[in-house]
Structure 1
Protein backbone atom coordinates (compact mmCIF):
# COMPACT_ATOMS: atom_id res chain seq x y z
CA UNK A 1 0.00 0.00 0.00
CA UNK A 2 1.23 3.46 -0.88
CA UNK A 3 1.49 6.09 1.82
CA UNK A 4 1.79 9.84 1.47
CA UNK A 5 1.36 13.09 3.33
CA UNK A 6 -2.00 14.70 3.94
CA UNK A 7 -1.64 18.42 4.51
CA UNK A 8 -4.94 20.22 4.97
CA UNK A 9 -3.70 23.04 2.77
CA UNK A 10 -4.25 20.77 -0.22
CA UNK A 11 -2.39 21.05 -3.50
CA UNK A 12 -0.80 18.46 -5.71
CA UNK A 13 1.15 16.64 -3.02
CA UNK A 14 -1.35 17.12 -0.24
CA UNK A 15 -3.14 13.97 0.85
CA UNK A 16 -6.53 12.47 1.65
CA UNK A 17 -8.78 11.06 4.34
CA UNK A 18 -12.42 9.92 5.04
CA UNK A 19 -14.86 6.83 5.18
CA UNK A 20 -17.12 4.36 3.22
CA UNK A 21 -14.77 1.63 3.55
CA UNK A 22 -14.89 4.09 6.07
CA UNK A 23 -15.52 1.53 8.58
CA UNK A 24 -14.73 4.51 10.66
CA UNK A 25 -18.18 5.56 11.10
CA UNK A 26 -19.39 2.01 10.96
CA UNK A 27 -17.71 1.50 14.31
CA UNK A 28 -19.32 4.32 16.21
CA UNK A 29 -22.98 4.33 15.22
CA UNK A 30 -23.47 0.67 14.33
CA UNK A 31 -21.59 -0.69 17.31
CA UNK A 32 -23.37 1.69 19.67
CA UNK A 33 -26.76 0.60 18.40
CA UNK A 34 -25.65 -3.01 18.74
CA UNK A 35 -24.45 -2.58 22.33
CA UNK A 36 -27.66 -0.77 23.28
CA UNK A 37 -29.64 -3.82 22.16
CA UNK A 38 -27.74 -6.17 24.47
CA UNK A 39 -29.38 -7.31 27.74
CA UNK A 40 -28.02 -5.67 30.87
CA UNK A 41 -25.89 -7.78 33.22
CA UNK A 42 -27.83 -8.79 36.30
CA UNK A 43 -24.68 -8.66 38.40
CA UNK A 44 -25.52 -11.98 40.11
CA UNK A 45 -23.11 -14.23 38.24
CA UNK A 46 -19.73 -15.51 39.34
CA UNK A 47 -16.48 -13.91 38.12
CA UNK A 48 -15.99 -16.88 35.82
CA UNK A 49 -19.49 -16.51 34.38
CA UNK A 50 -19.00 -12.75 33.96
CA UNK A 51 -15.74 -13.38 32.12
CA UNK A 52 -17.42 -15.83 29.80
CA UNK A 53 -20.23 -13.32 29.16
CA UNK A 54 -17.75 -10.56 28.32
CA UNK A 55 -15.94 -12.85 25.87
CA UNK A 56 -19.26 -13.76 24.24
CA UNK A 57 -20.22 -10.09 23.97
CA UNK A 58 -16.86 -9.22 22.40
CA UNK A 59 -17.31 -12.04 19.91
CA UNK A 60 -20.82 -10.87 19.05
CA UNK A 61 -19.54 -7.33 18.56
CA UNK A 62 -16.85 -8.55 16.18
CA UNK A 63 -19.29 -10.71 14.20
CA UNK A 64 -21.76 -7.84 14.03
CA UNK A 65 -19.10 -5.46 12.73
CA UNK A 66 -17.92 -8.06 10.21
CA UNK A 67 -21.49 -8.43 8.90
CA UNK A 68 -21.91 -4.66 8.51
CA UNK A 69 -18.50 -4.30 6.84
CA UNK A 70 -19.24 -7.02 4.26
CA UNK A 71 -21.96 -4.76 2.93
CA UNK A 72 -19.13 -2.40 2.00
CA UNK A 73 -17.00 -5.20 0.51
CA UNK A 74 -14.69 -5.02 3.50
CA UNK A 75 -13.22 -7.86 5.54
CA UNK A 76 -12.60 -7.35 9.27
CA UNK A 77 -10.06 -9.69 10.86
CA UNK A 78 -10.13 -10.98 14.43
CA UNK A 79 -7.40 -8.54 15.49
CA UNK A 80 -10.06 -5.83 15.41
CA UNK A 81 -12.00 -7.43 18.29
CA UNK A 82 -10.12 -5.53 21.01
CA UNK A 83 -10.25 -2.08 19.31
CA UNK A 84 -13.94 -2.57 18.53
CA UNK A 85 -14.69 -3.41 22.15
CA UNK A 86 -12.65 -0.44 23.39
CA UNK A 87 -14.13 2.09 21.02
CA UNK A 88 -17.64 0.87 21.81
CA UNK A 89 -17.23 0.95 25.61
CA UNK A 90 -15.51 4.36 25.53
CA UNK A 91 -18.04 6.04 23.24
CA UNK A 92 -21.42 5.33 24.79
CA UNK A 93 -23.30 8.47 23.85
CA UNK A 94 -22.27 11.33 21.62
CA UNK A 95 -21.15 13.47 24.56
CA UNK A 96 -17.92 11.45 24.63
CA UNK A 97 -16.93 12.65 21.16
CA UNK A 98 -14.93 15.82 20.83
CA UNK A 99 -15.69 17.97 17.79
CA UNK A 100 -12.87 19.66 15.90
CA UNK A 101 -12.95 23.34 16.95
CA UNK A 102 -13.44 26.08 14.37
CA UNK A 103 -14.50 29.71 14.10
CA UNK A 104 -17.50 30.47 11.88
CA UNK A 105 -16.65 33.42 9.62
CA UNK A 106 -19.72 33.73 7.38
CA UNK A 107 -22.82 31.82 6.27
CA UNK A 108 -24.43 32.13 2.85
CA UNK A 109 -28.13 31.32 2.68
CA UNK A 110 -30.84 31.53 0.04
CA UNK A 111 -34.55 31.48 0.92
CA UNK A 112 -33.67 30.16 4.37
CA UNK A 113 -31.54 27.30 3.00
CA UNK A 114 -27.87 27.07 3.94
CA UNK A 115 -25.70 27.12 0.83
CA UNK A 116 -22.32 27.02 2.55
CA UNK A 117 -20.32 28.20 5.54
CA UNK A 118 -16.88 29.79 5.66
CA UNK A 119 -14.88 28.58 8.67
CA UNK A 120 -11.43 29.03 10.14
CA UNK A 121 -9.67 25.97 11.56
CA UNK A 122 -6.60 26.46 13.74
CA UNK A 123 -3.30 24.67 13.26
CA UNK A 124 -3.38 21.20 14.78
CA UNK A 125 -1.99 17.68 14.94
CA UNK A 126 -3.60 14.99 12.80
CA UNK A 127 -2.90 11.26 12.46
CA UNK A 128 -3.05 10.33 8.77
CA UNK A 129 -2.78 7.25 6.61
CA UNK A 130 -2.91 7.11 2.81
CA UNK A 131 -4.08 3.94 1.07
CA UNK A 132 -4.70 2.90 -2.52
CA UNK A 133 -7.35 0.18 -2.64
CA UNK A 134 -9.63 -0.84 -5.51
CA UNK A 135 -12.34 1.62 -4.48
CA UNK A 136 -12.62 4.84 -2.51
CA UNK A 137 -14.86 3.10 0.02
CA UNK A 138 -12.37 0.32 0.66
CA UNK A 139 -9.47 2.73 1.12
CA UNK A 140 -11.47 4.71 3.63
CA UNK A 141 -12.57 1.72 5.68
CA UNK A 142 -9.20 -0.01 5.84
CA UNK A 143 -7.55 3.31 6.62
CA UNK A 144 -9.90 3.95 9.51
CA UNK A 145 -9.37 0.50 10.96
CA UNK A 146 -5.66 1.31 11.20
CA UNK A 147 -6.47 4.69 12.76
CA UNK A 148 -8.85 2.90 15.11
CA UNK A 149 -6.04 0.67 16.35
CA UNK A 150 -3.94 3.78 16.94
CA UNK A 151 -6.76 5.37 18.95
CA UNK A 152 -7.22 2.17 20.95
CA UNK A 153 -3.78 1.64 22.55
CA UNK A 154 -1.50 1.00 19.54
CA UNK A 155 0.37 4.16 20.39
CA UNK A 156 3.39 4.99 22.55
CA UNK A 157 1.24 5.80 25.60
CA UNK A 158 -0.64 2.51 25.43
CA UNK A 159 -3.86 4.36 26.33
CA UNK A 160 -7.19 4.99 24.63
CA UNK A 161 -6.79 8.44 23.05
CA UNK A 162 -10.41 9.52 22.62
CA UNK A 163 -12.66 9.98 19.59
CA UNK A 164 -13.03 13.21 17.60
CA UNK A 165 -15.44 14.15 14.83
CA UNK A 166 -15.50 14.47 11.95
CA UNK A 167 -13.22 11.82 10.56
CA UNK A 168 -12.05 13.29 7.27
CA UNK A 169 -10.76 12.07 3.95
CA UNK A 170 -8.80 14.21 1.55
CA UNK A 171 -9.58 13.34 -2.07
CA UNK A 172 -7.78 14.47 -5.19
CA UNK A 173 -9.42 15.00 -8.57
CA UNK A 174 -8.47 16.02 -12.07
CA UNK A 175 -8.90 19.67 -13.04
CA UNK A 176 -12.38 19.02 -14.46
CA UNK A 177 -13.58 17.40 -11.22
CA UNK A 178 -14.64 14.29 -13.11
CA UNK A 179 -12.30 11.62 -11.69
CA UNK A 180 -11.16 10.87 -8.12
CA UNK A 181 -7.66 9.54 -7.54
CA UNK A 182 -7.35 6.07 -6.00
CA UNK A 183 -5.03 7.51 -3.35
CA UNK A 184 -7.19 8.34 -0.33
CA UNK A 185 -6.01 9.59 3.06
CA UNK A 186 -7.96 9.03 6.26
CA UNK A 187 -7.23 11.67 8.90
CA UNK A 188 -8.03 11.82 12.61
CA UNK A 189 -7.74 15.04 14.63
CA UNK A 190 -5.99 14.45 17.96
CA UNK A 191 -8.12 15.35 21.01
CA UNK A 192 -7.26 18.60 22.79
CA UNK A 193 -5.36 16.91 25.62
CA UNK A 194 -3.04 15.22 23.08
CA UNK A 195 -2.50 18.19 20.76
CA UNK A 196 0.64 19.49 22.46
CA UNK A 197 2.37 16.10 22.47
CA UNK A 198 0.57 13.44 20.42
CA UNK A 199 1.76 9.89 21.17
CA UNK A 200 3.55 8.33 18.17
CA UNK A 201 1.76 5.39 16.49
CA UNK A 202 3.15 1.87 16.51
CA UNK A 203 2.03 1.44 12.88
CA UNK A 204 4.65 3.08 10.65
CA UNK A 205 2.04 3.65 7.92
CA UNK A 206 0.34 6.21 10.16
CA UNK A 207 2.04 9.60 10.19
CA UNK A 208 1.53 12.50 12.58
CA UNK A 209 1.34 15.84 10.82
CA UNK A 210 0.73 19.43 11.81
CA UNK A 211 -1.87 20.87 9.47
CA UNK A 212 -1.63 24.65 9.15
CA UNK A 213 -4.42 27.04 10.03
CA UNK A 214 -6.90 26.88 7.15
CA UNK A 215 -10.01 28.64 5.85
CA UNK A 216 -12.62 26.14 4.68
CA UNK A 217 -15.79 26.57 2.63
CA UNK A 218 -18.15 23.79 3.65
CA UNK A 219 -21.56 22.51 2.62
CA UNK A 220 -23.53 19.69 4.33
CA UNK A 221 -24.98 16.73 2.49
CA UNK A 222 -26.56 13.45 3.57
CA UNK A 223 -26.36 9.91 2.30
CA UNK A 224 -23.52 7.62 1.21
CA UNK A 225 -20.06 8.79 0.19
CA UNK A 226 -18.62 7.21 -2.93
CA UNK A 227 -16.90 8.33 -6.11
CA UNK A 228 -20.15 9.44 -7.77
CA UNK A 229 -21.67 11.34 -4.84
CA UNK A 230 -18.39 13.08 -4.02
CA UNK A 231 -17.89 14.29 -7.60
CA UNK A 232 -21.48 15.53 -7.63
CA UNK A 233 -20.99 17.40 -4.33
CA UNK A 234 -17.72 18.98 -5.51
CA UNK A 235 -19.34 20.27 -8.70
CA UNK A 236 -22.43 21.51 -6.84
CA UNK A 237 -20.28 23.40 -4.34
CA UNK A 238 -18.14 24.94 -7.10
CA UNK A 239 -21.29 26.44 -8.65
CA UNK A 240 -22.38 28.00 -5.35
CA UNK A 241 -19.12 29.77 -4.51
CA UNK A 242 -18.89 33.42 -5.54
CA UNK A 243 -15.17 33.09 -6.25
CA UNK A 244 -14.23 29.40 -6.65
CA UNK A 245 -10.79 30.45 -7.87
CA UNK A 246 -9.74 31.32 -4.31
CA UNK A 247 -9.88 27.62 -3.41
CA UNK A 248 -7.56 24.72 -4.16
CA UNK A 249 -8.85 23.12 -7.37
CA UNK A 250 -7.67 19.51 -7.15
CA UNK A 251 -7.82 18.54 -3.47
CA UNK A 252 -10.98 18.40 -1.35
CA UNK A 253 -12.08 17.04 2.00
CA UNK A 254 -15.06 14.83 2.80
CA UNK A 255 -15.98 15.08 6.49
CA UNK A 256 -18.08 12.29 8.01
CA UNK A 257 -20.08 12.67 11.24
CA UNK A 258 -22.15 9.46 11.18
CA UNK A 259 -21.61 5.95 9.92
CA UNK A 260 -21.82 5.31 6.14
CA UNK A 261 -24.38 2.54 6.57
CA UNK A 262 -26.87 4.97 8.12
CA UNK A 263 -29.69 5.97 5.77
CA UNK A 264 -29.37 9.66 6.69
CA UNK A 265 -25.61 9.80 7.09
CA UNK A 266 -24.41 13.35 7.76
CA UNK A 267 -21.41 14.60 5.80
CA UNK A 268 -19.79 17.81 4.60
CA UNK A 269 -17.75 18.68 1.53
CA UNK A 270 -14.86 21.06 2.29
CA UNK A 271 -13.13 23.38 -0.18
CA UNK A 272 -9.78 24.69 1.06
CA UNK A 273 -8.87 28.32 0.52
CA UNK A 274 -5.49 28.79 -1.15
CA UNK A 275 -2.77 29.91 1.29
Structure 2
Protein backbone atom coordinates (compact mmCIF):
# COMPACT_ATOMS: atom_id res chain seq x y z
CA UNK A 1 0.00 0.00 0.00
CA UNK A 2 1.37 3.45 -0.81
CA UNK A 3 2.50 5.46 2.18
CA UNK A 4 0.91 8.80 2.93
CA UNK A 5 0.64 11.35 5.67
CA UNK A 6 -2.71 12.67 6.81
CA UNK A 7 -3.29 16.39 7.27
CA UNK A 8 -4.90 17.60 10.44
CA UNK A 9 -8.64 17.70 9.81
CA UNK A 10 -9.97 21.06 10.85
CA UNK A 11 -13.60 20.03 11.30
CA UNK A 12 -14.88 17.10 13.31
CA UNK A 13 -17.82 16.82 10.90
CA UNK A 14 -15.59 16.08 7.88
CA UNK A 15 -16.21 12.69 6.35
CA UNK A 16 -12.99 12.70 4.35
CA UNK A 17 -9.23 12.66 4.86
CA UNK A 18 -6.70 14.98 3.29
CA UNK A 19 -3.69 12.81 2.41
CA UNK A 20 -0.27 13.74 1.10
CA UNK A 21 1.31 11.04 -1.08
CA UNK A 22 4.92 11.05 -2.28
CA UNK A 23 5.77 10.20 -5.89
CA UNK A 24 4.97 6.54 -6.60
CA UNK A 25 4.99 3.94 -9.38
CA UNK A 26 1.91 2.12 -10.63
CA UNK A 27 1.20 -0.47 -13.29
CA UNK A 28 -1.88 0.59 -15.22
CA UNK A 29 -4.19 -0.12 -18.13
CA UNK A 30 -6.88 1.98 -19.81
CA UNK A 31 -10.34 0.68 -20.61
CA UNK A 32 -12.95 2.73 -22.48
CA UNK A 33 -16.54 1.85 -21.65
CA UNK A 34 -19.86 2.78 -20.13
CA UNK A 35 -19.89 0.67 -16.94
CA UNK A 36 -17.37 1.12 -14.11
CA UNK A 37 -17.71 -2.46 -12.86
CA UNK A 38 -17.04 -3.97 -16.31
CA UNK A 39 -14.10 -1.67 -17.03
CA UNK A 40 -12.59 -2.32 -13.60
CA UNK A 41 -12.96 -6.07 -14.11
CA UNK A 42 -11.30 -5.96 -17.57
CA UNK A 43 -8.49 -3.80 -16.22
CA UNK A 44 -8.02 -5.96 -13.14
CA UNK A 45 -7.64 -9.11 -15.27
CA UNK A 46 -4.96 -7.46 -17.43
CA UNK A 47 -3.03 -6.26 -14.39
CA UNK A 48 -3.41 -9.57 -12.57
CA UNK A 49 -1.76 -11.30 -15.55
CA UNK A 50 1.09 -8.80 -15.27
CA UNK A 51 1.72 -9.56 -11.57
CA UNK A 52 1.44 -13.30 -12.29
CA UNK A 53 4.34 -13.09 -14.76
CA UNK A 54 3.11 -11.49 -18.02
CA UNK A 55 6.19 -9.28 -17.89
CA UNK A 56 9.86 -9.35 -18.71
CA UNK A 57 11.54 -11.27 -16.99
CA UNK A 58 8.39 -13.38 -16.36
CA UNK A 59 8.49 -12.84 -12.61
CA UNK A 60 5.66 -12.67 -10.11
CA UNK A 61 5.05 -9.34 -8.42
CA UNK A 62 3.33 -8.93 -5.07
CA UNK A 63 -0.38 -8.02 -5.19
CA UNK A 64 -0.93 -4.67 -3.51
CA UNK A 65 -3.80 -2.52 -2.38
CA UNK A 66 -5.58 -0.44 -3.29
CA UNK A 67 -6.77 -1.18 -6.79
CA UNK A 68 -7.27 2.40 -7.97
CA UNK A 69 -9.46 3.33 -10.92
CA UNK A 70 -9.23 6.81 -12.42
CA UNK A 71 -12.48 7.80 -14.09
CA UNK A 72 -12.50 10.46 -16.79
CA UNK A 73 -16.20 10.88 -17.61
CA UNK A 74 -17.35 11.04 -21.21
CA UNK A 75 -18.64 14.30 -22.69
CA UNK A 76 -22.31 13.43 -22.22
CA UNK A 77 -24.66 11.13 -20.33
CA UNK A 78 -24.50 8.36 -22.97
CA UNK A 79 -20.81 8.69 -23.84
CA UNK A 80 -18.08 6.24 -22.95
CA UNK A 81 -15.75 7.11 -20.08
CA UNK A 82 -12.06 6.31 -19.79
CA UNK A 83 -11.17 4.10 -16.85
CA UNK A 84 -7.50 3.70 -15.90
CA UNK A 85 -7.14 0.75 -13.54
CA UNK A 86 -3.90 0.71 -11.52
CA UNK A 87 -2.00 -1.49 -9.06
CA UNK A 88 0.56 0.13 -6.78
CA UNK A 89 4.11 -1.10 -7.42
CA UNK A 90 5.74 -1.89 -4.06
CA UNK A 91 8.98 -0.08 -3.17
CA UNK A 92 11.12 -3.18 -3.74
CA UNK A 93 10.03 -3.20 -7.43
CA UNK A 94 9.61 0.56 -8.00
CA UNK A 95 13.20 1.32 -9.03
CA UNK A 96 13.13 -1.15 -11.89
CA UNK A 97 9.63 -2.64 -12.34
CA UNK A 98 9.24 -5.61 -14.69
CA UNK A 99 8.33 -4.51 -18.21
CA UNK A 100 4.76 -5.48 -19.19
CA UNK A 101 4.44 -7.87 -22.15
CA UNK A 102 0.83 -6.80 -22.86
CA UNK A 103 0.85 -3.63 -25.00
CA UNK A 104 -2.24 -2.39 -23.12
CA UNK A 105 -0.39 -2.44 -19.78
CA UNK A 106 2.08 0.30 -18.85
CA UNK A 107 4.14 1.58 -15.94
CA UNK A 108 3.48 5.14 -14.82
CA UNK A 109 4.79 7.49 -12.18
CA UNK A 110 2.25 9.36 -10.12
CA UNK A 111 3.59 12.71 -8.91
CA UNK A 112 3.61 13.71 -5.27
CA UNK A 113 0.07 14.91 -4.67
CA UNK A 114 -2.66 15.69 -2.18
CA UNK A 115 -5.70 13.43 -2.35
CA UNK A 116 -9.02 13.92 -0.59
CA UNK A 117 -10.38 10.46 0.30
CA UNK A 118 -13.84 9.42 1.49
CA UNK A 119 -14.02 5.90 2.92
CA UNK A 120 -17.05 3.59 3.02
CA UNK A 121 -17.81 -0.11 3.41
CA UNK A 122 -19.72 -2.81 1.62
CA UNK A 123 -19.55 -4.11 -1.94
CA UNK A 124 -20.61 -0.97 -3.80
CA UNK A 125 -22.37 -0.90 -7.10
CA UNK A 126 -21.54 1.73 -9.71
CA UNK A 127 -24.25 4.16 -8.57
CA UNK A 128 -22.96 3.99 -4.98
CA UNK A 129 -19.48 5.01 -6.10
CA UNK A 130 -21.01 7.92 -8.02
CA UNK A 131 -23.13 8.92 -5.02
CA UNK A 132 -20.11 8.93 -2.67
CA UNK A 133 -18.06 10.88 -5.25
CA UNK A 134 -20.84 13.48 -5.54
CA UNK A 135 -21.03 13.80 -1.74
CA UNK A 136 -17.26 14.25 -1.53
CA UNK A 137 -17.25 16.84 -4.31
CA UNK A 138 -19.93 18.81 -2.43
CA UNK A 139 -17.90 18.64 0.79
CA UNK A 140 -14.85 19.87 -1.11
CA UNK A 141 -16.66 22.81 -2.71
CA UNK A 142 -14.37 25.25 -0.89
CA UNK A 143 -11.20 23.39 -1.97
CA UNK A 144 -9.31 23.44 -5.25
CA UNK A 145 -9.89 20.00 -6.72
CA UNK A 146 -9.48 18.69 -10.22
CA UNK A 147 -13.05 17.97 -11.28
CA UNK A 148 -12.10 16.53 -14.68
CA UNK A 149 -11.66 13.11 -13.11
CA UNK A 150 -12.02 11.17 -9.88
CA UNK A 151 -10.90 7.80 -8.50
CA UNK A 152 -12.35 4.75 -6.87
CA UNK A 153 -10.13 2.61 -4.66
CA UNK A 154 -10.77 -0.90 -3.38
CA UNK A 155 -8.62 -2.46 -0.69
CA UNK A 156 -10.09 -5.94 -0.28
CA UNK A 157 -10.33 -9.22 -2.14
CA UNK A 158 -13.74 -9.76 -3.75
CA UNK A 159 -14.07 -12.78 -1.45
CA UNK A 160 -13.93 -10.71 1.73
CA UNK A 161 -17.48 -10.45 3.02
CA UNK A 162 -17.31 -8.04 5.97
CA UNK A 163 -15.52 -4.84 6.98
CA UNK A 164 -14.60 -3.98 3.39
CA UNK A 165 -12.74 -0.76 2.67
CA UNK A 166 -13.63 1.32 -0.39
CA UNK A 167 -12.84 4.91 -1.17
CA UNK A 168 -13.46 7.68 -3.66
CA UNK A 169 -10.72 10.25 -4.28
CA UNK A 170 -10.30 13.70 -5.71
CA UNK A 171 -6.89 15.20 -6.37
CA UNK A 172 -6.04 18.66 -5.09
CA UNK A 173 -5.48 20.98 -8.03
CA UNK A 174 -2.42 23.02 -7.11
CA UNK A 175 -2.56 24.77 -10.49
CA UNK A 176 -5.80 26.45 -9.46
CA UNK A 177 -3.79 28.52 -6.94
CA UNK A 178 -1.38 29.78 -9.58
CA UNK A 179 -2.09 33.15 -11.10
CA UNK A 180 -0.51 33.21 -14.53
TM-score, L = length of structure 1: 0.57
Q: Distance in 2 between matches of 1:250 and 1:106?
A: 26
Q: Distance in 1 between matches of 2:109 and 2:102?
A: 18
Shift of 1:213: 0.8
Q: Alpha-carbon deviations, 1:127-156, whole Å to 9, x = none? A: 110112452111111111110010011111
Instruction: Look up the match of 2:61.
Output: 161
Q: Distance in 2 between matches of 1:180 and 1:209?
A: 26
Gaps of 5+ in 2: 175-180
1:106 and 2:4 aligned: no
1:240 and 2:139 aligned: yes
| Conserved? CA contact 1:108–1:117, under 8 Å | no
Instruction: Look up the match of 1:122.
Output: 22
| Conserved? CA contact 1:153–1:161, under 8 Å | yes
Q: Alpha-carbon deviations, 1:109-129, whole Å to 9, x = none? A: 536xx5111111111111110
Partner secondary structure for residue 56 of structure 2:
coil
| Conserved? CA contact 2:151–2:169, under 8 Å | yes
Instruction: Look up the match of 1:253.
Output: 151
Change (3 A) 1:266 1:181: farther
Q: Distance in 2 between matches of 1:179 and 1:172?
A: 14
Instruction: Look up the match of 2:83.
Output: 184
- Higher relative helix content: 1
- Higher relative strand content: 2
Shift of 1:171: 1.0
Partner secondary structure for residue 248 of structure 1:
coil
Shift of 1:265: 3.0
Change (3 A) 1:168 1:180: farther
1:267 and 2:144 aligned: no
Instruction: Look up the match of 1:204.
Output: 103
| Conserved? CA contact 2:33–2:80, under 8 Å | no
Report how many residues are paired.
Answer: 173
Q: Distance in 2 between matches of 1:181 and 1:226?
A: 18
TM-score, L = length of structure 2: 0.85
| Conserved? CA contact 2:26–2:107, under 8 Å | yes
Gaps of 5+ in 1: 1-98
| Conserved? CA contact 1:126–1:190, under 8 Å | yes
1:143 and 2:46 aligned: no
Shift of 1:242: 5.6
Instruction: Look up the match of 1:69.
Output: none
Root mean square deviation, CA, Å: 2.4
* Greater RCO (Cα-Cα under 8 Å, separation 6 or more): 1
| Conserved? CA contact 1:220–1:267, under 8 Å | yes
Shift of 1:100: 1.2
| Conserved? CA contact 2:65–2:155, under 8 Å | yes
Partner secondary structure for residue 215 of structure 1:
strand
